[in-house]
Structure 1
Amino acid sequence: MQLEFVDAIAEIAECDWNRAAACDYPFTRFEFLHALEASGAVAPDRGWQAHHLIIRRQDQLVGVMPLYIKTHSYGEYVFDWSWADAYQRHGRPYYPKLLAAIPFTPATGPRLCLIDEGERDDIVAALAVALPKHANDIGASSLHILFSKADMAAMWSQHGLMQRIGPQYHWYDRDYGDFEGFLAAFSSRKRKGLRKERRVVAEQGLDLQVLTGAEISAAQWRFFFHCYQLTYAKRSGHGGYLPESFFTELATSMPEHLVMVLASHGDEPVAVALNFRDQHTLYGRYWGCIREYEFLHFEACYYQGIEYCLREGLRHFDPGAQGEHKIQRGFTPILTYSNHWLADGDFSAAVQRFLDEEQVHIGNYLREASEMLPFKKADGV
């Protein structure tokens, strides 16, 4: 098996990368990763040096893995700032580190992409040795694989990479049929509360439309980006990690994966939510507004997404990181997974103790959070 590391995704042919990526999960596709690099959102001067892994056997491509050399921990959503601080306090460098992840995207999915899944066990076993060695060779303190699927995270763990869990809140179609069927699963009080939120949105004179792919106009993309920047300016004091050219490239290169929810007051657009999709899942990614309206965020980011899933036959809605308020709106607390290897044995042992304690707390939290779900207890949810 030959391992090659490339400093730009453009160094491999798009058709070859996507042949290895194999599925339509949008965030490991060449188009998405290329847009990040071509727009400058991912670049060495932004703390993201592309270092993608290309796996070959007898000169034949067998797999790929999005990899980055990181000089900070922004844009990852699995927070290791305390680990970096501990290194610094002991006079040791935590950065650079080697990261297998999708930049700015806390969405679970494939990280190691293989043409033949039958080779997975052997390749994971080989990479569990080769990737830490490579991290050492390039002077990285550690290796991190973020938001893997549960079975892959378990495999990395079996080969010595520490496992970390975290909470998110996802919606699943339990054969509801339509939105009224979804609401029918709620307790009476919770159902009335959600209906009130939707009624208040309508009473404020707001209209919402769902646009997909080529239906989204250049003017609507400009409005979206303005709202995207406003959201980050309010929250973080900057205009966001992603430039406008990132979104305009995606509009051209992968429109079939894009779903926009646009809210208007009269003829004026006032808010927008951008989602990605594949054959089975809707991924809520960005939201912004130019004016605040009561409950509009819930309508645009959650209820319109659920209705879209039910219409289109998507069984799963991942609305993004954080947001305990999602639970009472029918989003189930679930676990996310990451894996970690640290070169320093003493720090590795300390982090493992931390992860063991954290796992107990998160397990307890998920059990408590599940009691907050709005569904009728008789449904066994």
Structure 2
Amino acid sequence: MQIQILSNLDQVACSAWNALVQDNNPFVRHEFLAALEHHGCVGKNFGWLPRHITVYDGTELIGAMPFYEKYNSYGEFVFDHAWAEAYKRHHLDYYPKLVSAIPYTPASGQRLLAKLGRETEVYALLLASALQLAETLQASSVHWLFPLSTEQEWLNQQQLITRHDCQFHWRNFGYSQFDDFLETLSSKKRKNIKQERRKVQEAGVKLRVLDGYSATAADWERFAFFYQHTFESKWGVPTLNAGFFKEVAAHLPEQVLLIMADRDQECMAGSLMFRSDTRLYGRHWGCTEYFDSLHFEACYYQGIDYCIRHRLQVFEPGAQGEHKVARGFIPTLTRSSHWLAHAGFQQAVRQHTMYEQRSVAEYMQTIAEHLPYRDTFLAEQLKE
């Protein structure tokens, strides 16, 4: 066995890395992660330094982990600012830390990539390598964010700290068309969605549904402007750029879904999503002009319609947002695993996360009492 730590993903063959990717997850694919590096979306400027781990058996790649040395907590969506502040109060360094995650992407997916049939062996090597690198870099901690449930269960068995959070995901219960989905909702919620979709049409907004083949360079330049404008207007940091969007579209054309909104021959809003073999992931939205309900149409209803037409099972529209519930999205548990080098903080944080888990469970139960579906429908579907 040979373990390698990579400072850029081009040091490993694209085909070898992708052979380990399940469900054709776009964010875990070599093309997506490499494009982040090619266009400066990760690196010293943003505090995401690639430290990808690979495991070879002879010349065959049998394991890999997307991995980053971090000097901030930006773009992770599992918030540990309180942990960093506690370290600071005790005159300890929280940074650097090590994170296995997809930068700026709160979507579920593999974090421990392994050849089928050799998962247990490879997982152990990846974990040991991550902890050894943490010791070498004197990192305070190691974090695995939004792993697959099977990976999370294995990480739990290694006595790591587990955090819980909640997102809102849409489930496809075998619908044939959008109206089938609407029929499962209460009459009030069904009427509200129809009204929102009608407002967009009556405003004269036309939507273009594009993929990597049909979207033009001008479309990507325009969307990059929307993306940057949105972040800057909300005091955020725009990390992605037109070059990144174009490269991903060129290399993963069938996995890109770009919704562009036009009115009076001018494009004034856009929504970007990505798909795997079974899931759709909503990622970015931007606009230069406000239209009532356009955000819901471009980011949610178009995505739901796409899932139904392409028989995708789940739509993950991104982090947070209780407003998604009224539009058919269901509270869904997300998890992450954490290792802290400092024994004292490890015990304190573990105790805190136990309270946090109970709080998340209570929150999800409260939300579940206000879902928009007709009585008994959702319970019957989930039971099946």
TM-score (norm 1): 0.96
1:70-149 equivalent positions in 2, closer than 5 A: 70-116=70-116, 118-149=117-148
Seen in structure 2, the aligned counterparts of structure 1 residues 39 and 176 have a Cα distance that, compared at 3 Å, is same
| Aligned-partner residue type, residue 75 of structure 1 | G
1:253-332 equivalent positions in 2, closer than 5 A: 253-332=251-330
Number of the residue aligned with 2:382:
none
1:101-250 equivalent positions in 2, closer than 5 A: 101-116=101-116, 118-238=117-237, 240-250=238-248
Seen in structure 2, the aligned counterparts of structure 1 residues 237 and 76 have a Cα distance that, compared at 3 Å, is closer
4+ aligned runs moved over 3 Å, structure 1: 125-130
Number of the residue aligned with 1:7:
7
- Between the aligned partners of 1:36 and 1:335, the Cα distance in structure 2 is 28
Asked if the contact 1:25–1:109 (Cα under 8 Å) also holds between the matched residues in 2, the reply is: yes
| Aligned-partner residue type, residue 172 of structure 2 | D
Seen in structure 2, the aligned counterparts of structure 1 residues 175 and 22 have a Cα distance that, compared at 3 Å, is closer
Asked if the contact 1:131–1:143 (Cα under 8 Å) also holds between the matched residues in 2, the reply is: yes
1:5-44 equivalent positions in 2, closer than 5 A: 5-44=5-44
- Between the aligned partners of 2:105 and 2:46, the Cα distance in structure 1 is 16
- Between the aligned partners of 1:206 and 1:90, the Cα distance in structure 2 is 55
Number of the residue aligned with 1:366:
364
CA apart distance, 1:130? 3.7
SS at match of 1:303: helix
CA apart distance, 1:356? 0.3
Q: Deviations over 1:307-334 (max 9, x none)?
A: 1111111111111111110011000100
CA apart distance, 1:380? 4.0
- Between the aligned partners of 2:378 and 2:236, the Cα distance in structure 1 is 44
SS at match of 1:214: coil
Cα RMSD for the two superposed structures: 1.3
Q: Deviations over 1:201-256 (max 9, x none)?
A: 11111111211121001111111111111110111254x11122111211222111
| Aligned-partner residue type, residue 251 of structure 1 | A
CA apart distance, 1:23? 4.1
Question: In percent, how many aligned pairs have the same letter?
Answer: 42
Asked if the contact 2:75–2:105 (Cα under 8 Å) also holds between the matched residues in 1, the reply is: yes
CA apart distance, 1:129? 3.6
| Aligned-partner residue type, residue 195 of structure 1 | K
Number of the residue aligned with 2:50:
50
- Between the aligned partners of 2:351 and 2:70, the Cα distance in structure 1 is 25
- Between the aligned partners of 1:25 and 1:93, the Cα distance in structure 2 is 35
CA apart distance, 1:80? 0.5
SS at match of 1:93: coil
Number of the residue aligned with 2:340:
342
CA apart distance, 1:125? 3.2
SS at match of 2:107: coil
SS at match of 1:213: coil
SS at match of 1:288: strand
**Structure 1 unmatched ranges of 5 or more:** none
- Between the aligned partners of 2:13 and 2:302, the Cα distance in structure 1 is 37
SS at match of 2:200: helix
Per mean C-alpha deviation after superposition, the further-off stretch among 1-10 and 346-355 is 1-10
**Structure 2 unmatched ranges of 5 or more:** 380-384
- Between the aligned partners of 2:375 and 2:355, the Cα distance in structure 1 is 31
CA apart distance, 1:271? 0.9
Per mean C-alpha deviation after superposition, the further-off stretch among 204-213 and 121-130 is 121-130
- Between the aligned partners of 1:138 and 1:28, the Cα distance in structure 2 is 25
CA apart distance, 1:44? 2.4
Asked if the contact 2:100–2:143 (Cα under 8 Å) also holds between the matched residues in 1, the reply is: yes
